[in-house]
């Protein structure tokens, strides 16, 4: 079982090494990974002890709810009801202060109109908490194994692997941040081009 779990989280640690310090979540995870043995890592992942979760006790639960909404809406721009904002106001403030999300507010309203998932590594963190590990491993392997000139269509991958398009785009963004590829920024496009 430990070997299977280890294989299932390999995608996350490989991605952390690629993302390096380009994203706030990843830089914390790089330090965390360097300080732990693989056995300790497995135990801590199983207990959901990680550098993001410790920022506030509600962050793992909040992140799972945000990820569920991401899956349902297929968008990094998400809206929630007042009850959600009341319950998670502190943990939302914490992840916003870390640069993981942005929010749109309306004058006179005490709650955001919506939140925007602006950090690709935070999306990967949510996937580590809530998504099927084998799907994430397949996505990582697909992008990581691209040779120069290879094109990937996120919409095709979405249907093949059954992952939300914003997750696939976040993976593309992390590889792009290291100069390995380029993700098209054209509206409606989800193309990735391998450069190295």
- pLDDT, average across residues 159-166: 96
Task: Please tell me the predicted confidence (pLDDT) of residue 41.
Answer: 54
Average pLDDT (29-44) is: 56
pLDDT digits (tens, 9 = 90+) for 121-150: 999 999 999 999 999 999 999 999 999 999
How would residue 15 be classed by pLDDT, with cut points 50, 70 and 90? confident
Average pLDDT over every residue of 93-108: 94
Separation of alpha carbons 166 and 26, rounded Å: 18
Share of the chain above pLDDT 70, in %: 78
Q: Cα(162)–Cα(144) distance, rounded to whole angstroms?
A: 18
Mean pLDDT of the chain: 85
pLDDT tens by residue, 39-95: 565 555 544 446 787 788 999 999 999 999 999 999 999 999 999 999 999 999 999
Which are the contacts of 16, defined by CB distance < 8 A and separation ≥ 6?
Answer: 26, 29, 30, 33, 121
- Check residue 24 and give its pLDDT: 61
Q: 149 in the Ramachandran plot: left (φ > 0), alpha (ψ -120 to 50) or beta?
A: left
Across residues 183-192, what is the average pLDDT? 89
């Amino acid at each position: 079982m430990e070997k299977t779990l280890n294989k299932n989280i390999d995608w996350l640690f490989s991605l952390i090494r690629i993302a390096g310090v380009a994203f706030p979540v990843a830089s914390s995870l790089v330090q965390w990974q360097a300080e732990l043995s693989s056995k300790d890592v497995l135990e801590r992942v199983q207990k959901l002890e990680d550098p993001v979760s410790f920022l506030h006790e509600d962050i793992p639960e909040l992140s799972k709810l945000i990820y569920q909404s991401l899956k349902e809406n297929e968008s990094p721009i998400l809206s929630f009801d007042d009850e959600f904002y009341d319950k998670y106001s502190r943990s939302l403030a914490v992840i916003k202060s870390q640069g993981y999300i942005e929010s749109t507010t309306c004058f006179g309203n005490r709650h955001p109109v919506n939140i925007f998932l602006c950090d690709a590594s935070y999306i990967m963190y949510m996937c580590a908490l809530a998504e099927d590990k084998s799907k994430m491993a397949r996505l990582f392997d697909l992008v990581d194994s691209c040779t120069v000139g290879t094109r990937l269509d996120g919409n095709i991958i979405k249907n093949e692997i059954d992952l939300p398009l914003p997750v696939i785009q976040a993976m593309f963004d992390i590889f792009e941040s290291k100069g390995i590829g380029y993700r098209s920024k054209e509206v409606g496009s989800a193309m990735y081009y391998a450069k190295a």
